[in-house]
Structure 1
Amino acid sequence: MGKGFYISNTVVIVGIVLAAGALCTITALPAAITSLPTTEPWDQWRLPQTLSPQTYNITMWPRLEPDPNGLYIFTGLSKVVFRCVIDTDLILIHSNKLNMTKPPILTALGSSPAPAIALTVMHPLTQYMAIHLTEKLIAGESYELYTEFIGELSDDLGGFYRSEYYENGVKKVVATTQMQPTDARKAFPCFDEPAMKAVFHITLYHDPATVALSNGVVIDKANVTVDDILVTRTTFAPTEVMSTYLLAFIVSEFGFIEQNIDSLQIRIFARQEAINAGQGQYALNVTGPILKFFEKYYNVPYPLPKSDQIALPDFSAGAMENWGLITYRETALLYDEEISSNGNKERIATIIAHELAHQWFGNLVTLRWWNDLWLNEGFASYVEYLGAHEAEPDWNIKDLIVLYDVHRVFAIDALASSHPLSSKEEEIQRPEQINEVFDTISYSKGASVLRMLSDFLTEAVFTQGLQTYLDYFKFNNTVYTDLWEHLQMAVDKTSTSLPKTVQEIMDRWVLQMGFPVVTINTATGEITQEHFLLDPETKPDRPSEFNYEWFVPISWTKKEAAQPLHWLLKKTDQSDQMKIGSGDWILANINVAGYYRVNYDNANWNSLLNVLKTSKESIPVINRAQLIDDAFNLAKAGIVETTLALRTTLFLDSETEYMPWESALDNLDYFYLMFDRTEVYGPMQTYVGKQVKYLFDHFTTLTHWEGVPPGHTDQYNQVNALRVACSTGLENCTTLVKTWFQKWMDDPTVNPIKANLRSTVYCSAIAAGGEQEWDFAWQEFEKATVAAEKDKLRAAMACATEPWLLNRYLKYTLDPNKIRKQDATSTIISIAGNVVGQSLAWDFVRANWEYIFNQYGGGSFSFSNLINGITKRFSTEFELQQLKQFRDDNAHIGFGSGTLAIQQSIERTTANIKWVKKNQQAVLEWFSNPS
């Protein structure tokens, strides 16, 4: 370890003891000088490019017991070595909610002496510590900045925070981290931008009964006495050069299981009780195969000696790809053979694959700034299906991206308030703006367009370009166009024929929001494209240099014969091949490889509907789901009649495949949201119940509701059959559900309900019951030790139909001793999804907005889900005015990462009002006499 990096034992111990003297001084530092002109560097949101960090030497000591003031704190010290790039007399470094316990010390590592520090000023708004110097630092010279600090180990799920759980009746505390995107600065002073990569040397002081983890492997561990306290000092190997947001350090009493594959250490950490129960075994089983798959896929060996994965009781996101120490919610990593469902298992496999994909794409090669987050998250969201397929090849999981990502994001990207995948850097500056880009567009649209790109390039060309990109830029930062250049090089080396360059094609999908609807007239052969908007009367606020035209790769079949790919490069095109005669039909966007919707002339629509009814196997399963989803959304936009969309569900009375059913139920859910408070509801229930009876009888014959279907998606469709049959009042179903739940209530030691069916059974039984059923579920929720089971019960309790029970449940979300902070907003959303709970949840959120926002929303990049979730049923002028009033009344508090969601909710409500007014009567008539 070179000069400037080594910290002697004496210095560390003395430093921490001195910091400990400030244990009761966690108070707000002086406010920034608001009168300074905004041209000053400390009033800007981006760091100046004057300094470049090289290494950090960080020592942290979290206290897992409260101090006399009831605070949990951590103390630390940091030595950051940086190189001066441009002469400057100002050191600007991020620091948020930290108190300095000693003045910073600057040391020169070259021949010239370091300037003296004239003044240190904290700027809480922009989250900087500004160190003013008496003279300038010299370009090309290296310096070291030493700081000692203290911070609160709070329960806010960001930075260095605490998580709590009970084991054998004893409270346990975990000190853990979540740095992405801008919270490393809450743990230690740092240059907290993704392009400011450095090497990190981490040392942790902790109770000897605990285990310390970080990105690197342990290189030294010793017990020492500090201020008469025996602690363990754990020192970790230096990291590879990496961004601050990927740093992690954790102190806990967790247990682990491990295995070694080709000298790579793989470990799964969790609560000791969960490890003892074998809940980490499935994650351990799939991690090795997924890692090996990505090594081959990227053609780059895994760059670290170990892969640790840890399940945390409190965690704001699903998981976080910290390099070598990946953090998860318990439900995203732990699996119990007896209690967890097939869906829980799939979630674990895909999330592990997502985070492992990032170890190369994101960690080894990192995007320069958050405006290109979509490439990082979109790529991982695409290849997670490939990685999970490697671990579970029998699942046929790669197809499910159409339901989970493509269809899901279409609904958001069809709003005029959507946004492009990539924004300009200057548009994404403040922490709340950065949090806001962690949305469905970045993840699911990113995945969808990259899947489309891989499809028209071919997977061989796509992976070749990806591999040279990763090799060329490893340990560095990029912008998204760097990937396009390497893909283009791969194209140029092959016989792949493209009508434009990769960048020219992809600019249309990345730099403008939205997507097209492609209309094929099979009588004339005319093909057109238009920007698809759910409310065509709205216009995007954002101008597009491409005038909302795309270069569209159209895959298609004539009857069942595949045709060559057709590129639609302008608004209108002509293809005589797409003219058809009587008895023929055309189907476009095969396997939904393209990110666009498809419309046809009425004759072709009628032909396709007839094929669905008479010989549906002629159409691939994915495209049966696509026809339903396209038709319903084209109807929402007024492009086709709503009755045409409803006709796409007629064939379901003989359909047993999951994807068409799931697509239909997702779209019919919109009808329930719009009409479950109107006269349409009764006839709609009768129709849906009639359609699902075939599916329910199919699984009754297949399993007698005692077994599990062998197919992965068949298990999902069994759940759909039970859920819909019960919700529409099928007597055989409700009898089953009530019987199972009553048996469990009679003997809580034995749960007779199959794991896959529990979510549905719990919800149905609680909805049909009252206080007794709800209280029983709450007792079981409090006793449950498997996170997946707790999640099922937590969601099911929102199904109650007694308003007072739901109001009581809403109040529980304000008490972290009852509902964990990580689960508060999703619980409110679940209650709002219940027609009885909708208005209760809306009133509750409005009455408690300031508290909810400050406790759960200020820094959460998933907070927009709350606003969308509680307003999705809005469809009246009164609700629209309430929503606008809510926006105006709380402007002074703010909406954080939900700012865009407010605008989208207003736009969606406006569209709902128009749609209901136009379609209610026709929908009522069709459900009353479907044909």
Structure 2
Amino acid sequence: MSETTPPRQDYRLPTDVTPTHYDLKIWTDLESLKFDGSVEIHLKVNKETSKVVLNSLFLDLDQVSLHSDALNAQQEPSSKEFDSVQQRVVFTFAYALPADSTARLTISFKAAITGHMMGYYKSTGGADGKTIYALTQFQPTAARRAFPCWDEPAVKATFAITMVSRKKTVNLSNMPADTEGPYKPALVDQGSWIGQKFASLSDASEWKTTRFQTTPPMSTYIVAYANGPFEFVEGSYTSPLSGKVRPLRFYVTADCIPHAQFALSTMEKVMPVYERMFDLEYPLPKLDLLAASDFDLGGMENWGLIVGRTQYLLHDPESNDIQNEQSVASMVGHEVAHMWFGDITTMDWWDNLYLNEGFATLMGDKVILEKIWPEWKPDSEFLVTSYFSARSLDAKLSSHPIEVECPDPGKILQIFDALSYAKAGSVLRMLSSYVGEERFLKGVSLYLKKHQYKNTVTKDLWEGIQSATGFDIPKVMDTWVKKMGYPVITVTEEDGGIHVRQDRFLESGPAGPEDNETLWTVPLDIVTGAADDKPIINKILLEEREKFIPLDTSKPFKVNADTTGFYVVKYGAERLATLGQQATSPASPFSLSDRIGLVWDAFALAKAGYTPLSSALALVSSFNNESEYFVWDTIATNLSTIASTWYEHPRVLDLLNPFRMDLFVPLVKRLGYESSPTDPPNDKQLRTKAVEQAADAGDTVVLNELKSRFAHFLETGDDSRIPTDLARITYRIAVQEGAKREWERVKELAVQPKTPAQGMAAMLALGATQDLTLAEATFQFMLGEARDQDAMFVARGLQNNPKTRKFLARRTKEEFDRLEQKYSGTFTLSRWIERSFQLLASEEDYEETAAFFKDRDTSQYDLAFKQSLDNIRARAAWIKRSTDELVQWLEQWPKN
């Protein structure tokens, strides 16, 4: 199709003709699992052409006609060519369309409603698991699977959607329904497939038509519609800017209604806060949520119709599970933020995905939660949920810049990762701290207002924030967005101050000259203790490789105040020990986020070989009186990483586990196993973490307690002795320590749970078995009976289990052709690679994994594959470098 290749990148559609409006009609038949449709696309002709090129994939197209207003004539295409690689159809017409004219392209189409979780697909839910409904998932490039369209974010148009469905079902779309009534054939073209469908009906009275209001200009990937037997809970909010009362609804299947209120209430809380924050009213007449039992992502920001997994949107009001409550609030906050970032203002192309996802991560996981639930300490939670996961990925040579070329749909799918979300959110958090949050948000507001209903690139955002702050934003931010990686700041104490130097940080060890060319503009916020013990933050910009900073080093100081900068700080061993003592003293000038950063940096440096592992372990020893959950969570995560890395080294584990028990068992004794509604969030979360760590370390008292509670449930069916926030660890220990009976009972919970949270806990636990026969049964369950969206939860259980980790890698390789075919074109394929291989830890594992994929086309999952290989190699190198030191320190620890 070289003749249709545009002068710009060939992976972008030609701009000779662009749409301005779609009249889209969809007939949904949930009994036959098919849909029929017709679309009339209003076109603007920018350049004379006889070809119309647009996206279409897996659609049966028919009855194509083009009406030119300038020619006042209608014509059918003389040829129709499909390009399955570019996912396009090219219509050639005998008479060219004149430049600067308008036209209308009409196409009939049909396809099956499959369970592929992309395009217009089916989901099954309900109390019996047999309730069928259909919904869309178009991001990033799957609208073309549902109707022929210009499926690129920059090609915005308005949409008037009409749905035909059975009377007893509910139709949903981006906009409110304008009219709904009995189906009448006059509403559609009699020659279309919909018309033919009507003619073949034995009883047309079973069907209805729902016409929705026309949308504002929008991208195809946020178009949405759904059809099924939905019910809803309803609320509203009053716009603080206009005083309008806007309805909010949460649609679910009937069985989910009791668990729907918390997400709806969260939406009611966040909407007015976002409007005030951005000084920009939500522009649509309504906003709905829809919970789906089968969904490839966590949530999706369809404008006016947000969709998310049941596991991430439902919350049991009788539960004390603070983790699930926070997860739902973050999901709702994230997706609602997209109503502005992504929907009102949309990135021009997928290389600027972070303009959507980085902002929604920062807003949904931190900023909005701080304004509504400050007791959750969202800034510290952001560190452990987003910031450190992004740093871990970005420390690899196989990382990629936040802005990254996306030449095809396969590459676009792969960049929905911790860099586009969490790193982008983290560097925006750094920028907000540098310029001040109030001015940062003012700049964001200017950006949104200037580019309403338009598309943007990075410079547009920088211009908005620069206007509000007066700072040279591109100078500060361009390297963080356009270059991969981040620096390690080495701090050396000298007379009268400190000497700082920046070099690229790599998990494989200090960077050589070829990997150390980038110089970042680094906000070096230095917190120091004053005479009155109130912290002072000194803001310094490091633009060069090295710099001397005058400082009184006799007083407490720490580089990277509140851990807002996206970098690692390396101190000398003596200073690190001093910082540990100062951080845990009652008069410490260091914040909770400071303490979290100290611990994480120490382990990151040790893992990469910059510092001894013993220095990180010694630092942890000084935190035994710590009371904050997020510090303990950081300690737990890093000690678990050590155990996971040395999983094939029994001597190390035999020494490490008593150390873990010494830290966490006292917390279990203090906090117990039962939480109360009046407990602060910190104690609820810390109780769960302490029990998990003590059990993982093999403490017999904790293991026996959890086994006893599950045994009571097994014998009586009464699960009241298993607190909801301890369900994950209780089920896991039951499977790990039990036999087939325990495994089968947990599988029953995975298949038919009382709540989505219980189902997720059970799926994660199935892989904990020590019996490889049951491991095979788990693998078969994952491939067959489990929902496609849930396979990764089950795989995570097998991955985290030292006994089954290599089993999972082997079985994945044996079944890979089947898995690749099943998950092709979805986000799940890359996740399979990560789950199956990234926690292996030997050079032999590396060589075997690399050899397996050597002659395969890895283009659909290349990033995940390379990152997994890097992870294996880094873990193997850590074992080789630090085993002797680790054993020696752990042997000496009881004496010390």
Name whichever of 459-468 and 335-344 sits farther off: 335-344
Give 1:469 shift: 1.0
Q: Distance in 1 between matches of 2:277 and 2:584?
A: 41
1:400 equivalent in alignment to 2:366: no
SS of 1:819's partner is coil
Relative to structure 1, the CA distance from residue 467 to residue 574 in structure 2 (aligned partners, 3 Å threshold; closer, same or farther) is: same
Q: Distance in 1 between matches of 2:75 and 2:265?
A: 55
Cα separation, partners in 2 of 1:149 and 1:708, compared to 1, 3 Å: same
CA contact (8 A) 2:798 2:804 kept: yes
1:845 aligns with 2:825: no
Partner Cα separation in structure 1 for residue 838 and residue 664 of structure 2: 25
- 1:195 corresponds in structure 2 to 154
- Structure 1: segments with no counterpart, 5+ residues: 1-32, 67-71, 493-497
Alignment partner of 1:738 is 2:707 = yes
Asked if structure 1 preserves the Cα contact closer than 8 Å seen for 2:749 and 2:758, the reply is no
- 2:346 paired with 1:366: yes
In structure 1, what is the equivalent of residue 481 of structure 2? Answer: 510
Instruction: Tell me, in whole angstroms, the C-alpha distance in 2 between the residues paired with 1:189 and 1:873.
Output: 42
Q: Does 1:624 align with 2:624?
A: no
Equivalent in the alignment of 2:523: 553
Q: CA 1:112–1:539 in structure 2 vs 1: closer, same or farther (change >3 Å)?
A: farther
Partner amino acid for 1:270? V
**Is 1:57 the equivalent of 2:23?**
yes
Equivalent in 163, 166, 180 of residue 204 of structure 1: 163
- The 1:212/1:38 distance shift into structure 2, 3 A limit, reads closer
Match for residue 125 of structure 1 among 62, 81, 85? 85
Q: Bigger CA drift: 879-888 or 708-717? A: 708-717
Task: For residue 223 of structure 1, report the CA deviation from its aligned partner.
Answer: 1.4
Does 1:476 find its partner at 2:475?
no
Is the alpha carbon distance of 1:255 and 1:567 closer, same or farther for their aligned partners in structure 2, counting shifts above 3 Å? same
Q: Check whether the contact 1:439–1:861 (CA below 8 A) recurs between aligned residues.
A: no
Residue in 1 aligned with 2:749? 780
Of 777, 780, 786, the match for 1:819: 786
Q: Which residue in the other structure is 2:842 paired with?
A: 876
Aligned to 2:570: 599
Distance 1:340 1:810 in 2: 32
Per-residue CA deviations over 1:401-450 (Å, capped at 9, x if unaligned) read 11111111111001111111112xxx312100111111110000000000
After superposition, residues 307-456 of structure 1 pair within 5 angstroms as: 307-339=287-319, 341-384=321-364, 385-423=366-404, 427-456=405-434
Q: Is the 2:78–2:93 contact (alpha carbons within 8 Å) kept by the matching residues of 1? A: yes
- 1:82-97 to 2 correspondences below 5 Å: 82-97=43-58
Q: How many residues align?
A: 863
**Structure 1 residue 341: Cα displacement:** 2.0
- Report the equivalent of 2:500: 527
> 1:291 is matched with which residue: 271, 275, 296?
271
Q: 2-side partners of 1:909 and 1:393: how far apart?
A: 38
What is the deviation of 1:617?
4.7
Partner residue, 1:163:
123
| Counterpart code for 2:213 | A
Between the two proteins, what is the percent identity of the paired residues?
Answer: 26
Query: Partners in 1 of 2:325 and 2:738 — Cα distance?
Result: 30
Task: Please report the RMSD computed on the Cα atoms of aligned residues, expressed in angstroms.
Answer: 2.0
CA distance in 2, matches of 1:822, 1:602: 46
Aligned residue for 1:260?
236
Answer yes or no: is 1:657 the counterpart of 2:628: yes
3-state secondary structure, aligned to 1:274 = helix
Kindly indicate whether the alpha-carbon contact (under 8 Å) linking 1:428 and 1:434 is maintained by their aligned counterparts in 2.
Answer: yes
3-state SS, counterpart of residue 574 of structure 2: helix
Following superposition of structure 1 onto structure 2, how do residues 26-175 of structure 1 map, counting pairs within 5 Å? Answer: 44-66=10-32, 72-100=33-61, 102-110=62-70, 112-113=72-73, 117-167=77-127, 169=128, 171-175=130-134
* Counterparts of 2:329 and 2:675, CA distance in 1: 26
Superposed CA offset, 1:232-258 (max 9, x none): 111100111100000001001011011
- 2:692 aligned with 1:723, yes or no? yes
* 1:739 shift after superposition: 1.6
Name the CA distance, whole Å, in 1 between partners of 2:572 and 2:835.
35
Does the C-alpha gap of structure 1 residues 396 and 823 become closer, same or farther in structure 2, counting only changes over 3 Å? same
SS in 1 for 2:520: coil
Runs of 5+ unmatched residues, structure 2: 185-197, 239-244
Q: Structure 1 residues 396-405 or 295-304, which shifts more? A: 396-405
**Closer/same/farther in 2, CA of residues 750 and 823 from structure 1, 3 Å limit:** closer
Distance 1:166 1:357, change over 3 A: closer
Aligned residue for 2:190? none
Q: Does 1:690 align with 2:662?
A: yes
- In the TM superposition, residue 508 of structure 1 has moved relative to its aligned partner by 1.4
Alpha-carbon distance in structure 1 between the residues aligned to 2:777 and 2:368: 42
Q: Aligned with 2:494: secondary structure?
A: coil
Partner SS, residue 735 of structure 1: helix
Distance of 2:264 and 2:132 partners within structure 1: 25
2:852 aligned partner: 886
Structure-2 change in CA distance of 1:787 and 1:383 (3 Å): same
C-alpha contact 2:486 2:566 (8 A) present in aligned 1: yes
Once the 2 structures are TM-superposed, how far is the Cα of residue 54 of structure 1 from its aligned partner? Answer: 0.5
Which residue of structure 1 aligns with residue 682 of structure 2? 713
Contact 2:21 2:43 in 1 (8 A): yes
Q: Structure 1 residues 464 and 219, CA, compared in 2 at 3 Å: closer, same or farther?
A: same
- Determine if contact 1:211/1:251 at 8 Å carries over to the other structure: yes
2:183, 2:130 → 1: CA distance?
A: 26
Q: Alignment partner of 1:256: what SS?
A: strand
Asked if 2 retains the 8 angstrom alpha-carbon contact of 1:673 and 1:872, the reply is no
The one-letter code sitting in structure 1 at the alignment partner of 2:154 is A
- Find the aligned partners of 1:904 and 1:540 in 2 and give their Cα distance: 22
C-alpha distance in 1 between matches for 2:638 and 2:834: 17
Question: 1:514, 1:532 within 8 Å by CA — same for their partners in 2?
Answer: yes
Cα 1:651–1:484 change in 2 (3 A) is same
1:214–1:236 CA contact under 8 A, matched in 2: yes
> How many Å separate the matches in 1 of 2:320 and 2:102?
54
**Any idea what SS the aligned residue of 1:910 has?**
helix
1:674 to 641, 645, 648: 645
Q: Which amino acid aligns with 1:566?
A: I
Residue of structure 1 aligned with 2:829, choices 863, 870, 888:
863
1:244 aligns with 2:223: no
Q: C-alpha displacement at 1:601, in angstroms?
A: 2.4
**Offset at 1:42?**
13
Q: Contact between 1:62 and 1:75, CA under 8 Å: does it hold in 2?
A: yes
SS in 2 for 1:290: helix
Distance 1:50 1:528 in 2: 52
Name the CA distance, whole Å, in 2 between partners of 1:730 and 1:748: 26
- SS at structure 1 position matched to 2:748: helix
Residue identity matched to 1:691: L
| Correspondence 1:829 to 2:796 | yes
CA deviation after TM superposition for structure 1 residue 619, in Å: 3.1
Question: TM-score scaled to structure 1, two decimals?
Answer: 0.90
User: Are the aligned partners of 2:390 and 2:422 in contact in 1 as well (CA < 8 Å)?
Assistant: yes
Length-normalised TM-score, structure 2: 0.93
Q: 1:727 and 1:346, CA in 2 relative to 1: closer, same or farther beyond 3 A?
A: same
Contact 2:671–2:683 under 8 Å retained in 1? no
